[in-house]
Structure 1
């Protein structure tokens, strides 16, 4: 069993994952497989495709900015201090709806989501967010399948501006 862990603000292994910055705060090794904790930053109008995690539950705590989250037939606007739990096997998606990037904590249990981030992303090459780019959806879906996640629909739409 690992011993306690301490990370200062901005510490942790940082990855550019899709259009986000994911900083690993706790992973499989530090939690003995219990959970993965990430701090993420995502730009306005970012949202992953609607997807289903078949092997893990996911939760967010929004620190700055705002998200529109849909889980099954439910939907919520989640602002600073807000929490949302997304159970495994239920389709869900989110969209950054604030006028500036969102910063949030993401908890997945059991641990292992950090391996998906590494398989799809790249080590952050600097501070801030990556240059926005359209995802390679077939490659993303293939990687997701290796981690018991299924892409089941498009990202949420921000609608007409």
Structure 2
């Protein structure tokens, strides 16, 4: 019954998944909460996200605070509070913090699964980093399970 999925979260409250995520990734709606339709997170983008492509999921971003750099296809823009960006599947994009403190945003992935990918990524720990930076070569085996591909340097 649909009303069994009704959720109300208090300020700062998060939905807990299989693996605890850092506070920068506050899950508000798990994929299971929405019967797979989407996942919703409040994210503080403290680390730049390298150029990648979602082959299935559309990604929606609404900036709450700060400034977010978005590189989409062949263009770059700065997204400020109150702005919304739809990143359709199949188009390469990257995200970066333009402001200090880093931007805070709502991130919706449809269909859902984004929080599951993050759980797998954080479960892998520092093995996905090279010199403290996300390494596409190391991330791609995990990302592939979610139809995501990060561009690797030649």
TM-score, structure 1 normalization: 0.79
Q: Is the Cα–Cα contact under 8 Å of residues 69 and 94 in structure 1 kept in the other structure?
A: yes
Runs of 4+ residues deviating >6 angstroms: none
1:149 — aligned with what? 148
If each structure's helix is expressed as a fraction of its own residues, which one has the higher value?
2
Match of 2:34, SS state, is coil
1:4-49 CA-to-partner distances (Å, cap 9, x unmatched) read 1111111113613xxx821110011111111000001123xx3111
Greater RCO (Cα-Cα under 8 Å, separation 6 or more): 1
Other-structure match for 2:52? 51
Instruction: Show structure 2 runs of 5+ residues with no match.
Output: 124-130
Whether 1:133 and 2:139 are equivalent positions in the alignment is no
* CA deviation profile, 1:41-75 (whole Å, cap 9, x unmatched): 123xx311100000100011111110110111232
Please name the residue that 2:128 is paired with. Answer: none
Q: Tell whether 2:122 aligns with 1:121.
A: yes
1:56–1:109 Cα contact (<8 Å) kept? yes
> Deviation string for 1:107-157 (max 9, x for gaps)?
0000111110100015xxxxxxxxx93235433111011110001157xxx
Partner of residue 36, structure 2: 33
Shift of 1:85: 0.7
Normalization by structure 2: what TM-score? Answer: 0.83
Q: Deviations over 1:78-132 (max 9, x none)?
A: 011111110000000111001212111000000111110100015xxxxxxxxx9
User: Does residue 1:96 correspond to 2:97, yes or no?
Assistant: yes
